[in-house]
Amino acid sequence: MTTCAALIVAAGRGQRFGGNLPKQYAPLRGEKLLSRTLRAFNSHPKINRIVVAIHPDDADSFAEAAKGFVKVTAVHGGATRQDSVRLGLEALADAAPDLVLIHDGARPMVSATLIDNVIAGLSQAEGVLPVTPVVDTLKRVNAGGIVGETVSRENLVRAQTPQGFRFATILKAHRSFAGEALTDDAAVLERAGHAVATVPGDETNIKVTTMDDLAQLTAALTETRVGQGFDVHKFGPGNSVMLCGLTVPHTHGLIGHSDADVALHAGTDAILGAIGAGDIGQHFPPTNPKWRGAASDKFLKHAYDLLLERGGALVHLDFTIICERPKVGPHRAAMVASVAHILGIAEDRISVKATTTEGLGFTGRQEGIAAQAVATVKL
């Protein structure tokens, strides 16, 4: 069986990136960017092992990024990318896989299909390069920024990684041309006189070079989720009910372990539902005396904090309160303001609606109040 290793180059300092840490360790959707890159190779069935060329200063960051990826080991890279690749290849020399895919650590969007296509291409060639077309018009400008000429796009393509090679061939080429300033591994193979074949690359397989790239990638990976909540509380003795954190005068109170704010309970479950974090009963068990008579704004705030901890944002929280009495309409604006205040977000992200059930069912018989909530979040 053909063996295939991956060599991930992650030793760069990222001078173009700015920020405090090299780009490969920048956070991307709650993990390090490099973790996403490693996952793509670690989960690919045709990749047997992965060597990552890292900077010696990054040992701790790397250990965190590589946690749980069983195929991954690290080697210290060199002063240039070319050096780092050569050192990585030397680390694989004993195992001598048949094939090696060399990939930029800062290309976290590499797909399993692209990895497959590069490997497939190696049945016909010593080296395989994924490429994408040049779509923009190219200009050569002088030092003053004045256009000198328009460069023809004909036969021009953009080179991506992973670049695939027969291992023995690329190791020999890197040993022969160590110290020469060649920009990528395909160029090293070309320098050794071998033909490099191409396969279609992938426009989403971008290399994160600037903060702007990272922001674009984060936006592209942001997803919208919707969670819903439902709750009921029964009327009992009292002269007011809590709804959306507001005291509303009524002929009865609502019975509950906490303050029985049926709307905020539904809202809490809606947010918890959107992030898959269980339900209100799990977080605040009614059996725990600590929550007796508790103000329910705590519950809602807790769910919201969990959302923020996951890097999320609340887009909208929509309540429907179902009862014959008390009339919600006169309090609607104050309820919206109350929820917005609890969460510290704008009022236009909160909606409070009310309905009756036309005298039908338990709400119609005025035995209690039901509430529904729908939370829309970005993650």
Per-residue x/- track, 219-238, Mg ion (CB under 5 A): ------------x-------
Q: Is the peptide bond before 326 cis (omega within 30 degrees of 0)?
A: yes
Least separation in angstroms between CB 233 and Mg ion: 6
Residue nearest to Mg ion (CB): 265
| Tokens representing residue 308 in the block | 């923020």
Q: What is the CA radius of gyration of the chain?
A: 29
Residue span binding Mg ion (CB under 5 A) among the ranges 21-29, 219-227, 262-270, 281-289: 262-270
Residue span binding Mg ion (CB under 5 A) among the ranges 117-125, 161-169, 239-247, 259-267: 259-267
Instruction: Considering the complex, state which of residue 58 and residue 231 has its C-beta at the smaller distance from Mg ion.
Output: 231
Instruction: Considering the complex, state which of residue 259 and residue 318 has its C-beta at the smaller distance from Mg ion.
Output: 259
CA distance 124 to 158: 21
Collapsed DSSP state (helix, strand, coil) of residue 3: coil
CA count, 13 A, side-chain hemisphere, 328: 22
Least separation in angstroms between CB 266 and Mg ion: 8
Instruction: Considering the complex, state which of residue 161 and residue 320 has its C-beta at the smaller distance from Mg ion.
Output: 320
Least separation in angstroms between CB 51 and Mg ion: 54
Look up residue 55 and give its amino acid. Answer: H
- Does position 252 bind Mg ion by CB under 5 A? no
CA distance 27 to 34: 9
Residue span binding Mg ion (CB under 5 A) among the ranges 22-30, 244-252, 264-272, 345-353: 264-272
- Does position 174 bind Mg ion by CB under 5 A? no
Give the Å distances, CA to CA, from 86 to 51, 75, 142, 171.
Answer: 12, 11, 36, 7
End-to-end CA distance of the chain: 42
Q: Give how many residues touch Mg ion by CB under 5 A.
A: 2
Instruction: Considering the complex, state which of residue 127 and residue 368 has its C-beta at the smaller distance from Mg ion.
Output: 368
Instruction: Considering the complex, state which of residue 130 and residue 267 has its C-beta at the smaller distance from Mg ion.
Output: 267
Beta-bridged to residue 17, according to DSSP, are none
Least separation in angstroms between CB 269 and Mg ion: 9
Beta-bridged to residue 232, according to DSSP, are 370
DSSP E strands in 155-214: the ranges are 157-159, 163-166, 196-200
Instruction: Considering the complex, state which of residue 82 and residue 296 has its C-beta at the smaller distance from Mg ion.
Output: 296
Instruction: Considering the complex, state which of residue 166 and residue 265 has its C-beta at the smaller distance from Mg ion.
Output: 265
> Which of positions 107-166 make contact with Mg ion (CB under 5 A)?
none
Instruction: Considering the complex, state which of residue 51 and residue 244 has its C-beta at the smaller distance from Mg ion.
Output: 244
Instruction: Considering the complex, state which of residue 185 and residue 231 has its C-beta at the smaller distance from Mg ion.
Output: 231
CA distance 336 to 352: 6
Alpha-helical (H) ranges within 229-354 are: 262-274, 280-283, 297-309, 332-343
- CA proximity to 263, closest of 378, 367, 375: 375
Collapsed DSSP state (helix, strand, coil) of residue 33: helix
Per-residue x/- track, 177-216, Mg ion (CB under 5 A): ----------------------------------------
Give the Å distances, CA to CA, from 14 to 11, 36, 55, 207.
Answer: 9, 18, 11, 12
Residue span binding Mg ion (CB under 5 A) among the ranges 61-69, 216-224, 263-271, 347-355: 263-271
- Does position 265 bind Mg ion by CB under 5 A? yes
Least separation in angstroms between CB 368 and Mg ion: 11
Beta-bridged to residue 150, according to DSSP, are 139
Beta-bridged to residue 320, according to DSSP, are 353, 372
- Does position 297 bind Mg ion by CB under 5 A? no
- Does position 266 bind Mg ion by CB under 5 A? no
Q: What region does 182 belong to: left with phi over 0, alpha with psi -120 to 50, or beta? A: beta
Residue span binding Mg ion (CB under 5 A) among the ranges 154-162, 234-242, 258-266, 305-313: 258-266
- Does position 269 bind Mg ion by CB under 5 A? no
Positions in the binding site for Mg ion (CB under 5 A): 231, 265
